[in-house]
Structure 1
């Protein structure tokens, strides 16, 4: 472990923070990379990963690089910026001879409905524009590994939730509204099961993958808690908040109309297949490889998330 430098790109994001916490727990040397924010108590470099020179400067000296950044939720921005960022980070890691650990999501799988459950070998014919971009950048990284340019590993997260995570669907649609006395709203059927990843588990899992030589060149589904319906999730939130709400379904025609005027709603509409069908991610590969890894129970994770916003 001596001489290692772990560089976290997107260090103040939901999962980037958890990666840093795990690295700190393991007493590893850390560098945080952000466009403008600074991580207290940790060497922080400000860099725009769209610029190759800045990406190279940020990654210089690294042994392990965690690509955990998030871009605005826009299919157009993803299409324009993600391939450039991935190319710059791969090239910078190649130059530094650093290993690259990529936090990915599930969007590249398709067409819908997905297999129940779906694993890392699922068909990759995405139905969404954002999914097509995710497939492109995933392929870029795997090809770079196969060609010997970098040693890389991909950790794929389900929709995540956790302390202070404001971009989680469980916050936007449920907790945020319930905290101000409003009923939660669901984009899809409230009795369809779905899996979720806890951000602190994601951070621990990415570092676990990074430090195991045998994981590289592979794709791994990061661990999830048990599959739950929206109705079951609202029951758990009610239990923590001592409320008695029920989720209301937003009619699709209303979402389509709203999408005309509200860009973020338009971006969500192409992903609604995730709410229309059972969406259960298989994390068996990770659990078998790391049998001692403790996955946070949903009841514990959602309580921590709610309490973080109460504080």
Structure 2
């Protein structure tokens, strides 16, 4: 594989992929809206080349894709702006194809599946999103798959469950890690006794790169399941126990989310996806494991210890 670009690199998954590339001594490009922000995050890595893109400027998008063989797409948008997902994907695909990019890997979500009919859920489960966010993610996926089917670019999709880990602040578990370290009370979204799954973010980078390097991966999507089904309550209690504190947490119901959402757009938008807590999508990733041979998953107890340790070290250095 030649030069790889992380499109929307500054998030937790982008940093995990960058860590894996660094460990393999492979040069890569990080692409984001803020060159200054990219340099602040990746400037200490001589293997990383930073490039800014302006999603409103086709020339800017093409310039960021120039000289790249593989593009890993990680672009996030604010929850109220999910309508942008297919639009930004279309612009990126057009620029990548024009610049001769050979492969595109979309790191996606479980949203396109909609309400799960089976547990666990395999890739042959219908994609029937019943939410606006799910429909936008499905449109995004369809663009990638159509471009692959037309022979314009090789495309594949990796679906992730919820995730956690060092530096992951957009996780249902993040508040628990903070509270366990600082002696506070964690804010959770309920119900907290329903089985759920989380993937440890440092495990994602190696999987993404292995998938990008596998010719048989393209033209379809793949599930990456978490380290097993667990409940939020059990994981939060384990987080506090590991930190040496008694568990303290409060739980917001769907009704409370609606009320909080009157003044908080993010919480208001979260109401739509609340079904993932009451009827969660638990994935079967046996196809991915058969394709790649080895898919490492850090057990929850080890991932919790590592997250607490690294978060604690960062607090001391601030």
The TM-score normalised by the length of structure 2 is 0.90
Choose from 51, 55, 79 the match for 2:61.
Answer: 55
The residue that corresponds to 1:103 in the other structure is 107
The residue that corresponds to 2:174 in the other structure is 171
Shift of 1:248: 3.3
Question: Structure 1 101/278 Cα, relative in aligned 2: closer, same or farther at 3 Å?
Answer: closer
The residue that corresponds to 2:119 in the other structure is 116
Shift of 1:109: 1.0
Instruction: Provide, for residues 3-28 of structure 1, a one-character-per-residue CA deviation record: whole Å limited to 9, x for no partner.
Output: x1111112221111111111222222
Question: Structure 1 131/240 Cα, relative in aligned 2: closer, same or farther at 3 Å?
Answer: same
Choose from 250, 260, 263 the match for 2:265.
Answer: 263
Shift of 1:278: 4.2
- Tell me if 1:64 matches 2:64: no
Contact (CA 8 Å) 1:119, 1:281: kept in 2 or not? yes
Cα distance in 2 for partners of 1:150, 1:46 equals 23
Question: Structure 1 289/161 Cα, relative in aligned 2: closer, same or farther at 3 Å?
Answer: same
Contact (CA 8 Å) 2:224, 2:283: kept in 1 or not? no
Contact (CA 8 Å) 1:82, 1:137: kept in 2 or not? yes
Cα distance in 2 for partners of 1:272, 1:93 equals 35
Cα distance in 2 for partners of 1:256, 1:278 equals 20
Give structure 1 regions of 4+ aligned residues with deviation exceeding 4 angstroms.
none
- Tell me if 1:46 matches 2:44: no
Choose from 158, 162, 187 the match for 2:161.
Answer: 158
Cα distance in 2 for partners of 1:178, 1:263 equals 27
Cα distance in 1 for partners of 2:188, 2:218 equals 38
The TM-score normalised by the length of structure 1 is 0.92
The residue that corresponds to 2:316 in the other structure is none
Paired residues for 1:1-311 under 5 Å: 1=1, 4-36=2-34, 37=37, 38=39, 39-40=42-43, 41=46, 42-74=48-80, 77-79=81-83, 81-98=84-101, 99-110=103-114, 112-172=115-175, 174-311=176-313
Question: Structure 1 189/114 Cα, relative in aligned 2: closer, same or farther at 3 Å?
Answer: farther
Shift of 1:211: 0.6
Contact (CA 8 Å) 2:173, 2:236: kept in 1 or not? no
Cα distance in 2 for partners of 1:176, 1:152 equals 38
Cα distance in 2 for partners of 1:309, 1:27 equals 26
Shift of 1:246: 4.8
Cα distance in 2 for partners of 1:57, 1:45 equals 9
Number of residue equivalences: 304
Cα distance in 2 for partners of 1:51, 1:302 equals 42
Cα distance in 2 for partners of 1:127, 1:178 equals 36
Cα distance in 2 for partners of 1:178, 1:238 equals 5
Unaligned runs of 5+ in 2: 314-318
Cα distance in 2 for partners of 1:16, 1:169 equals 19
